């Protein structure tokens, strides 16, 4: 047992850091979760009203099918605990923890464990994601399903097992009931499969039957969704209709500006007009994006850039749902950031393989920037946002207001 704590071994040092990051993720999600006590925003109150009605007859309406998975979960847990708000916020926080865990395993599978560690830490610390992680809000399922789908298909192609392809198809079908974006997101996967097919036709031919099996599972799970599709088609068209090409580019510019420079005021999740990304993450994200473009011939960077561009396009189309949909881009953004961060760290260590002082000094500097990033997000959420009187007024509704 003592060998586990031998910090001279690289694996043990990494595992110790990983344990610290996991503890940080859990504490960061549950610390001060009763910040508004039983207070709710108008959006949350509306969702709880739908969940309460659903808990009485368990019959979903057609227009609610695009986020019915969340509503059913909210109705189940709400009825279980008499709609205790703190418990429901804890469930929301737990969903984000599960998302972060899968995010770590996916990133480690595609890149390496150091990139996965940095990306996981950056994602979990972000104040905007933290706010959505403790808010009764269906968007929390979007990054979870995006990561799950990609991760399961990755394992399916690597392990070549039928069960993985079945699981991938089922999860892809369930994603339709998580958010409206999953109606158009399959285009990204079609483009990805086409790329892999052009790169290696024999490889894709090898999996033809398994891909068809996965597609069959997807269609079976999607049957209720397809049944209600005529009723939701208008909503889908309205959501992903920017009005004009100029409108699309305008919303895309607003999105990029919100991430890097100037965000629109939205006191539901933050205050002020500061960007949704901290300065350090914004710089490393841009550097990582440029680095990926210069290495786009490598499969993992091609897929990363393709996913980012596709999601950027889709979120910009659905501009009227902003800014909560910005969360869809976060996993990819933080992978870009972690990629360049790990590249700089590795290059420095290779340059000074025996100079302990140089290695220590550089590690200290990067650790200091990480600390500043975490502190920046702490101030943004726990101090500026949660202590703001206007925000507290927004979250002043009570569940009993539904029955007045």
Task: Say if 401 falls within a structural domain.
Answer: no
Task: Say if 57 falls within a structural domain.
Answer: yes
* Mean pLDDT computed over 124-143: 92
Would the pLDDT of 44 be above 60?
yes
Task: Say if 175 falls within a structural domain.
Answer: yes
Give me Rg for the CA atoms of the chain.
22
What pLDDT shows up at residue 379?
92
17, two tokens: 């850091």
193, two tokens: 């499969």
Task: Say if 15 falls within a structural domain.
Answer: no
Task: Say if 333 falls within a structural domain.
Answer: yes
Confidence of residue 198 (pLDDT cuts 50, 70, 90): low
What pLDDT shows up at residue 4?
40
pTM for this prediction:
0.89
Would the pLDDT of 356 be above 80?
no
Between 8-12, 84-88, 207-211, the lowest mean confidence (pLDDT) is in: 8-12
Whole domain around residue 361: which residue ranges?
36-100+111-390
Confidence of residue 6 (pLDDT cuts 50, 70, 90): very low
Q: What is the mean pLDDT of the chain?
A: 84
Would the pLDDT of 71 be above 50?
yes
Would the pLDDT of 276 be above 70?
yes
What pLDDT shows up at residue 9?
61
Task: Say if 2 falls within a structural domain.
Answer: no
* Mean pLDDT computed over 136-153: 90
Would the pLDDT of 320 be above 70?
no
Task: Say if 19 falls within a structural domain.
Answer: no
Would the pLDDT of 291 be above 80?
yes
Confidence of residue 284 (pLDDT cuts 50, 70, 90): very high
How many domains, in total, are found in the chain?
1
d(CA 221, CA 217): 6
* Mean pLDDT computed over 356-371: 85
Confidence of residue 3 (pLDDT cuts 50, 70, 90): very low
Could you give the percent of the chain with pLDDT greater than 90?
Answer: 29
Q: What is the separation, in whole angstroms, between the first and last Cα of the chain?
A: 60
Would the pLDDT of 319 be above 60?
no
Task: Say if 256 falls within a structural domain.
Answer: yes
Burial of 76 (0-12, 13-18, 19+ CB in 10 A): middle
Distances (CA, A) of 390 to 151, 269, 273, 384: 40, 12, 15, 11
């Amino acid at each position: 047992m003592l060998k586990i704590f031998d910090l001279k071994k690289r694996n043990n040092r990494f595992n110790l850091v990983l344990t610290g990051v996991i503890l940080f993720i859990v504490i960061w999600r549950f610390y001060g979760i009763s910040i508004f006590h039983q207070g709710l925003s108008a959006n949350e109150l509306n969702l709880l009203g739908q969940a309460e009605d659903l808990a009485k007859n368990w019959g979903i309406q057609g227009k609610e099918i695009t986020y019915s998975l969340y509503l059913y979960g909210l109705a189940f847990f709400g009825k279980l605990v008499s709609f205790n708000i703190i418990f429901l916020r804890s469930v929301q926080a737990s969903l984000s923890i599960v998302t972060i865990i899968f995010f770590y395993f996916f990133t480690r599978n595609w890149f390496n464990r150091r990139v996965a560690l940095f990306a996981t830490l950056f994602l979990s610390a972000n104040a905007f994601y933290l706010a959505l992680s403790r808010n009764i809000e269906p968007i929390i399922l979007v990054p979870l399903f995006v990561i799950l789908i990609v991760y399961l298909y990755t394992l399916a192609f690597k392990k070549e097992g039928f069960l993985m392809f079945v699981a991938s198809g089922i999860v892809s079908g369930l994603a339709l009931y998580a958010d409206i974006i999953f109606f158009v997101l399959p285009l990204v996967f079609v483009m990805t499969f086409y790329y892999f097919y052009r790169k290696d036709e024999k490889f894709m031919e090898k999996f033809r039957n398994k891909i068809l099996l996965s597609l069959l599972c997807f269609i079976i799970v999607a049957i209720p969704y397809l049944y209600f599709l005529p009723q939701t088609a208008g909503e889908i068209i309205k959501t992903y209709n920017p009005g004009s090409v100029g409108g699309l580019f305008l919303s895309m510019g607003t999105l990029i500006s919100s991430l890097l420079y100037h965000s629109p005021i939205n006191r539901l999740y933050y205050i002020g007009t500061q960007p949704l990304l901290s300065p350090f993450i914004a710089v490393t994200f841009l550097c990582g994006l440029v680095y990926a473009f210069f290495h786009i011939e490598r499969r993992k960077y091609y897929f990363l850039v393709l996913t980012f561009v596709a999601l950027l396009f889709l979120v910009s189309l659905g501009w009227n749902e902003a800014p909560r949909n910005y969360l869809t881009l976060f996993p990819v953004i933080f992978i870009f950031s972690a990629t360049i961060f790990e590249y700089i760290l590795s290059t420095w260590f290779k340059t000074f393989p025996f100079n302990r002082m140089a290695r220590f000094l550089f590690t200290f500097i990067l650790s200091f920037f990480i600390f500043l990033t975490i502190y920046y997000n702490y101030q943004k959420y726990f101090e500026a946002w949660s202590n703001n009187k206007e925000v507290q007024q927004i979250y002043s509704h009570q569940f009993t207001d539904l029955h007045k």
